[in-house]
Amino acid sequence: MDELEFLKKDWKKQDGNYPKLSFEQLYQMILKKSSSIVRWIFIISVLEFVFWTILTLCLADQEYWKEMEKIHLKGFTIALYLVGYVITFYFIFKFYKNYRKITATDSASVLMENILNTRKTVKYYIGYILISTGFTFLVYTYFTFKYHIANMKVKNSSLYEFDLNQWLIFIGAFLVFMLVFLGVIWLFYKLLYGILLNRLHKNYKELKRLEIEN
Amino acid sequence: MDKELEHQFVSNLEMHQNIVHKICRIYTNDQASHNDLFQEITIQLWKAYPKFRGEAKFSTWMYRVALNTAITLYRKKKRSIQTQDYDTVHFRIQAQEYDPQEEQQLKLMYNAVKELNDIDKALVFLYLEDKNYKEISDTLGISEVNARVKMNRVKTKLKKILNP
């Protein structure tokens, strides 16, 4: 006999052997809080949005704005902040929309896709933050060098200028610093979401593998 | 949510709780994990209940939500103690006819199912529950053809595990 048929026969015989929980016991269960991965993803994502927003707000104190004025980037920074907020709101809106779509009444593959899409929105947001931070850092560095010397009113400005070698060292050090910085963040996310989403990724791939093969 | 809805839901769940126990049996290896998964499935069913419009049978709807919880939503907790014989001790104690050879074969079968991946377990579970390929494909969100192909592969896998 087919192995599964053999198992099915026994499986059916055991219908009466399962524990029977009372109405009261089941009622107590619906009052408890979920510990599902979706709940965790929601909490972590909200924390990420809050963390990065607060970070950009905290960095911009009065000193910071004065400094921006000195290097002629105040207008640029204000514009950057405005654009930044519009983009952040867009991401939060998209995240919320995707999150609302997650429902256990969908089929397994649709449910998995919705969870991964929600997660992806936050991933893109972090990507955007990193790229825009890198970009503004470069612009600020350039303008600081350009105007700082003028602001300091040094007599022999050539003493404060970099020659080619120094520029190369500077750019090299900057790249190494950026790589280490990105590496640490990448590792952090790999670990965090590796733990949380590893199983989901595996199962999703397993489901989708069938679609691709046929 | 109002009391009437709660009452209606818990009564339905009480009546069909076997489905949840059976899924827990397939997906967990010890009593504590069984209870944990049962708890999470109950919460997910309750959360999804307002979306249950009665188009399908309550039990059919339950299969989907409960399986989704076991495969995707549930976060497994690491446990140091694993009761190896949980499955056989817990569920076979009331078996009336006892045939040692058949018993041994069944034990091997159940252990083989435990070795399958989450998706294959879902296929086996739905098969054991007499679901047809249409229902299997709807629950998992794959085509009927793929459900069939996959089921055949699961059968081959089980054969391989049993006869290495």
pLDDT in tens, A57-111: 787 778 888 888 888 888 888 888 889 889 988 998 999 999 999 999 999 999 9
Same domain, B157 and B116: yes
Contacts of A14 in chain B (CB under 8 A): 91-92, 95
Same domain, B1 and B79: yes
Report pLDDT digits (tens) over A167-197: 788 888 888 988 898 888 888 888 888 888 8
d(CA B126, CA B129): 5
Domain termination residue (choose one: B77, B94, B111): B94
Q: Which of B27, B57, B127, B133 is nearest to A2 (CA)?
A: B127
Q: Which of B73, B89, B160 to mutate to test the interface with A (most CBs of A within 10 A)?
A: B73
Question: Which chain B residue's Cα is nearest to A29?
Answer: B39
d(CA A33, CA B57): 26
What is the pLDDT at residue A80?
A: 86
What is the pLDDT at residue A158?
A: 57
Domain termination residue (choose one: B94, B117, B137): B94
Q: Is residue A83 a contact partner of residue A155, using CB atoms and an 8 Å limit?
A: no
Question: Which chain A residue's Cα is nearest to B138?
Answer: A107
Domain termination residue (choose one: B39, B61, B94): B94
Q: Low-confidence residues of chain B, pLDDT below 50?
A: 89, 93
Q: What is the ipTM of this complex?
A: 0.83
Nearest-CA distance A1 → chain B (Å) = 12
Count of structural domains, chain B: 2
d(CA A118, CA A102): 9
Same domain, B10 and B22: yes
Same domain, B23 and B75: yes
Same domain, B9 and B86: yes
**Who among B25, B44, B130 is closest to A104 (CB)?**
B44
DSSP annotation of A17 reads G
Report pLDDT digits (tens) over A122-158: 889 888 888 888 888 888 878 877 776 666 655 555 5
Same domain, B106 and B143: yes
Q: What's B89's domain CATH number?
A: 1.10.1740.10
Report pLDDT digits (tens) over A14-69: 888 888 999 999 999 999 988 899 988 889 888 888 887 788 778 777 888 888 88
Domain span holding position B85: 1-94
A159, HSE (Cβ side, Cα atoms, 13 Å): 5
Q: In this complex, do B40 and A35 lie within 8 Å of one another by their Cβ atoms? A: yes
Same domain, B25 and B54: yes
What is the pLDDT at residue A174?
A: 82
Q: What's B139's domain CATH number?
A: 1.10.10.10
Q: Which of A1, A2, A8, A10 to mutate to test the interface with B (most CBs of B within 10 A)?
A: A10
Same domain, B86 and B119: no
Same domain, B85 and B144: no
Q: Is residue B9 a contact partner of residue B48, using CB atoms and an 8 Å limit?
A: no
Question: Which chain A residue's Cα is nearest to B52?
Answer: A105
Contacts of B64 in chain A (CB under 8 A): 104-105, 107
Q: In this complex, do A37 and B73 lie within 8 Å of one another by their Cβ atoms? A: yes
Q: Is residue B39 a contact partner of residue A29, using CB atoms and an 8 Å limit?
A: yes
Same domain, B44 and B64: yes
Same domain, B137 and B85: no
Q: Which of B11, B78, B85, B69 is nearest to B37 (CA)?
A: B69
As given in the structure block, the two tokens for residue A64 are: 């910071």
- ∠ Cα B154 A7 B69 (to 5°): 60
Same domain, B102 and B87: no
Put simply, whether B106 touches A (Cβ < 8 Å) is yes
Q: In this complex, do B65 and A105 lie within 8 Å of one another by their Cβ atoms? A: yes
Q: Find the helix or strand (DSSP H, E) in which A40 lies.
A: helix A37-59
